[in-house]
Each structure stands twice: as C-alpha cells, then as structure tokens.
Amino acid sequence: LTCTVGATIKRNEVTGEIFIARVIHGGLADRSGLLHAGDRIIEVNGFPVDGMEPEQVIQVVQVRSQGTIMFKVVPITERPVHNQTMLYVRSMADYSPQQDPSIPCADAGMSFRKGDVLEIVDQTDALWWQAKKLPSNTDCAGLIPSTNLLRRKQRDFWWAQPYQPHACVQTLEFSLCFYSTLTEVSTVDEEEDMMAIDEKCLEADEEAFESEELREEEDDFTSSIEGIYLTGFRRSMRLCRRHFHSTTQPTCHTRCPSSCHSALNSPYEEVVRYQRQPQDPHRLIALLGPSSVGVNELRRRLIEMNPNVFQGALAYTTRAPKSYEESGREYFFTSREVFDNMVYNNRFLEYGEYKGNLYGTSIESVREVLNRGKICVIDIEPNAIQAVRTHELKAYIIYVKPPPLEHLRETRQDSCITTNYYVNRPFKGDDFQEMEEAARKMESHFSQFFDHVIVNDGLQDSCAQLLTAARKAQDEPQWVPASWIRPTVDS
Ligand SMILES: Nc1ncnc2c1ncn2[C@@H]1O[C@H](COP(=O)(O)OP(=O)(O)OP(=O)(O)O)[C@@H](O)[C@H]1O
C-alpha cells in the first residue's frame, strides 16, 4: 500500500476493521487529499476488507496497480491538527529500515547515514516521523525513528552488546553520549600505537636512526615567504598534538553547551541554513585527517598562495624562547602559571605537553586572525571538534582523506614524513596502512561532523579543492547547528 498509494494500514484486532495508519507525506494519498490517518477503509476496488489481514488488503490494491483504485472509507471524525513547523536535522547516527524489525513497514522506511541532512516533514507520531533526505529529488517522504525512539534504540543497542573493552569505539555511531569514554579508549589506543612505533624503532637501522633523529632544537616545517611569517606550523606544537589532551569536556560545559549537548545526546542535531553576511567574521576553517595525510601541506600551500586572505593561529607555549625567537611570531611565549590559568578558563581549543613544555591553540589566537578580517585556517585533532563547533567560531570542518593505497604509494614516492623519532624520512608501506586504518577509525567516529571531504590524491588538485571549499564556507549558504544561530542564554 505504501508504494502504490503512499499510506500504511493497521487492523483493529478486536473488530477486524482496517484503518489508515499513516499517510506518507508527498505520496499519492497525501497529494489527493482524500485519505487521512484514522480513516476506516470499508472497500477497495469493490471488495469489502473488514476482517482481512493487512497483507490481503495490500494484495487487493496491487491487483489494480494501474488505473483507478477505489476506496470506500468512513472518514475519521476528528482529524489531528497539524501544526508542523519546518525542522531540519543532521543525523548523528546511521539507520537502515531493512535492519530494524520494529519499523511498522520497512518499505515505507528511509535509510540515512551519519551527517545526512534530513527535512522532517511530519512529527505527529511520537515514534515514527516522516522525513526527506536533502538534497531531495523525490516528493515522497520516508519513515524514520523519532528522536526518542532512536535514542531508545541506541540505548538498547548499547546494553545488548556483550562486554568488550573497546566496544564503545565500534558503537559510537549509536551512542555519542559515551564520548568521554571514547576519549579514554582512544588514548589507550594511541599508547598502544606508540608502543608499536617503539618496537619498530628498535628494529630500525641504528645508523639511519642516529642520523635522522629529531634534533633538540626546533626547526620550522616551512620557510617564511618574503616578508610574511607563516604562523602555526611549528614542529613541537605539531608533535605535541599527537599526545594531545583535549579540553573537550570542560570547554563543552562552558562554551558551547547547546551545540555540544545536542550533538552528544541527541541522534539528530537541529540545523538551519546559514549564509554569512559580508560584515560577519569569517568562519574558522578547521582541517583534520589521519597523521601524515597532508593536512599541513595543504594548509601551508593555501596560506602561502593567499597570505592576505588566509592565516594560521599562533600557538602558546611555556617553552623558553630561543635567542632568535620573538613572542608573537613563532609562539606566544608564556609562563606555566599563565598557561594553567588559560586552561582553567577554557581558553584553549586544544593543548598538550611535549618534552615537559605545554603547547596550545587558544581561542584568542583564532579571534585575532578573524578580527583582522582574514580567514583563520587551523588543523585540529578530532577531540577538538566540539570546541570549534561554537556560535562564535562556526567552524567549517574539512576532512582530508587518504586516497586508495595504490594512489598513496604512487603520489608519495618522493614525499617524507616527520614522526616522533624521525625528521623527513621517506614513507614506508606500513605508514600507508596505518594511515588508512587511522582514517577508517576517524571516519567511523566523526564523519557526522565533516562539512567537506577532500581526498588528497594529487597535491595540486587537492589544493584547488581546499581553496574552493574555504571560499564556499564563507560565501555560500551552509547547514549549521541551529544553536549557533539561535544561541541559548549560556552559549
Ligand atoms: N597529495 C600529496 N602528494 C604527495 N605528497 C604529499 C601530498 N600531500 C602531502 N604530501 C606530503 O606528505 C608528507 C606529510 O604531509 P603533512 O606534513 O602535511 O602531514 P600532516 O597531515 O600534517 O601530518 P601530521 O599532522 O602528522 O604532521 C609531506 O612530506 C607532504 O609534502
């Protein structure tokens, strides 16, 4: 009945009467305006349907799949009042009606993936809403679980899992409220990764290790182009970020409660179309991707090619300045006391420790770039996603994805990476595999927050894509969390 007429039916088990259970938005029944939820069906194409099983009724309808289908109905006397307000949401979970035994009619269901934007067209039913996936090329809506129902499914799914120490990693898409647990698990994973690296280093050719070992002093990854110093590319800051400490939880509580809470607790995040006005500050561009995928190469090239438009954010450090360094150029050099105070006051988007010194990217550093009318481009670890998704920064998150393995091998033949132990060592086969694995994890946990994805295959093409995306983020309407536009009292 759903496909042909655009309605679902139900049977009163006591009386055997058949009723319209719901009318699918945009379907034939809805467009005809003749059938409504609650109408009692007496006859279909002249056949009395009282006492029939719903499947039999459907067969009667399908016999006449073309031409006119005649319904004799007793209309519902009191139609529910539809005071629908337009609602758009970004899905924070995957859903497949074919794998959901509780859906009233799987054919009427609509599947969606994390990050999809859905237009909710009907919320009259407490359990099953009707929605369209955007951009939509169909008039007909599909059934999706309501927020409460999906949340309940997530909870049940969570509790139904046998105990596995890492279970929260696999089930994050179902239960973002376990975010803090995930953070701990990721750290453990990272420590394990670190151990793997240690072993590899022990196996490594000692001579090569010695000659390429990280030197104590800090070099820039990049040279400064004429007259312009590229901020935000210092090596220690980047290495430190691999051992990041996220400020996610405290930051969330104080800086972005509405957007964080909605993202963490609700399977749907309400979104609105946002068009930045020319007088508004630029949206922050935040790049993320698995280590060595090319986030900083792309970021550097973008800034180098358009230094008057784009700029990185200067990091803070408690490290003592070297003779040639100036506060406000390589870093903001600061005391540990001041740094701790900034941490306490949630002033960092992310911060961490490297070789006994603290490093961090502050909100003020980003603000300073924005106040100059430039577009701030930073790279972040996934744990900083919530800290940049705020009413003020309105981060546009670009995920840099590795291309397939063969392409990685081909394109990175002459490229080098800096690891915790080596500077500029050529890529090895294992690096590519690790990158792919890290990418898979990152995507499965965080893809719902990606505004744009760049597959970093050919460097030139990726650079062009980044420039286009960074411009689009500023100039074209985008879906953003509704809380950014209608901030609550405490955001
Ligand atoms: N598309 C590409 N083709 C070839 N080489 C690339 C490409 N993108 C990046 N590279 C090279 O790969 C290496 C690693 O890139 P980059 O330093 O930007 O990594 P990253 O993503 O910033 O990683 P990390 O955060 O771990 O430092 C660099 O030598 C860079 O020049």
Q: Which of 72-81, 199-208, 360-369, 431-440 has the lowest mean pLDDT?
A: 199-208
**What's the whole-number average pLDDT of the chain?**
79
Q: How far is the CA of 488 from the centre of ligand 1 (A)?
A: 40
Q: How far is the CA of 330 from the centre of ligand 1 (A)?
A: 21
Contacts of 199 (CB under 8 A, 6+ apart): none
Q: How far is the CA of 369 from the centre of ligand 1 (A)?
A: 24
Instruction: Categorize the per-residue pLDDT at 104 as very low, low, confident or very high, splitting at 50, 70 and 90.
Output: confident
Question: Is 439:401 a contact under the CB 8 Å cutoff?
Answer: yes
pLDDT tens-digit series, residues 346-402: 999 999 888 899 999 999 999 999 999 999 999 999 999 999 999 999 999 999 999
The yes/no answer on whether domain 178-485 falls in CATH 3.40.50.300 is yes
Ligand 1 atom at shortest distance from the alpha carbon of 400: 21
User: What is the Cα–Cα distance from 252 to 385, expressed in whole angstroms?
Assistant: 10
**By alpha-carbon position, which residue is closest to atom 5 of ligand 1?**
412
Ligand 1 atom at shortest distance from the alpha carbon of 291: 26
Residue predicted with more confidence, 149 or 219: 149
User: What is the Cα–Cα distance from 247 to 339, expressed in whole angstroms?
Assistant: 13
Q: How far is the CA of 405 from the centre of ligand 1 (A)?
A: 15
The yes/no answer on whether domain 87-159 falls in CATH 2.30.30.40 is yes
At residue 177, does pLDDT exceed 60? Answer: no
- Per-residue confidence (pLDDT) for residue 197, from 0 to 100: 32
Instruction: Categorize the per-residue pLDDT at 161 as very low, low, confident or very high, splitting at 50, 70 and 90.
Output: low
From the CB of 295, is ligand 1 less than 6 Å away?
A: yes
Q: How far is the CA of 291 from the centre of ligand 1 (A)?
A: 8
From the CB of 291, is ligand 1 less than 6 Å away?
A: yes
- Per-residue confidence (pLDDT) for residue 419, from 0 to 100: 77
User: DSSP assignment, residue 267?
Assistant: S
* Domain boundaries defined on the chain: 2-74, 87-159, 178-485
Q: Which of 193, 239, 287, 293 to mutate to test the pocket of ligand 1 (most atoms within 8 A of CB)?
A: 293
At residue 187, does pLDDT exceed 50? Answer: no
Distance of CA 440 to the CA centre of its chain: 14
Question: Is 312:232 a contact under the CB 8 Å cutoff?
Answer: yes
pLDDT tens-digit series, residues 293-339: 999 999 999 999 999 999 999 999 999 999 988 899 889 999 999 99
Percent of the chain with pLDDT over 70: 75
Select from 310, 287, 157, 284 the least CA-distant residue to 231: 310
Select from 258, 20, 25 the least CA-distant residue to 120: 25
Residue predicted with more confidence, 4 or 142: 142
**By alpha-carbon position, which residue is closest to atom 23 of ligand 1?**
292
At residue 174, does pLDDT exceed 70? Answer: no
User: What is the Cα–Cα distance from 167 to 169, expressed in whole angstroms?
Assistant: 5
Its ipTM equals 0.98
Q: Compute the average pLDDT of residues 128-150.
A: 89
Q: How far is the CA of 323 from the centre of ligand 1 (A)?
A: 30
Q: Which of 291, 350, 412, 419 to mutate to test the pocket of ligand 1 (most atoms within 8 A of CB)?
A: 412
**By alpha-carbon position, which residue is closest to atom 27 of ligand 1?**
292
**By alpha-carbon position, which residue is closest to atom 25 of ligand 1?**
291
Residue predicted with more confidence, 108 or 259: 108
Q: What Rg, from alpha-carbon coordinates, does the chain have? A: 27
Q: How far is the CA of 456 from the centre of ligand 1 (A)?
A: 9
The yes/no answer on whether domain 2-74 falls in CATH 2.30.42.10 is yes
From the CB of 301, is ligand 1 less than 6 Å away?
A: no
At residue 165, does pLDDT exceed 90? Answer: no
From the CB of 236, is ligand 1 less than 6 Å away?
A: no
Question: 391 to each of 2, 319, 387, how far by Cα in Å?
Answer: 41, 32, 10
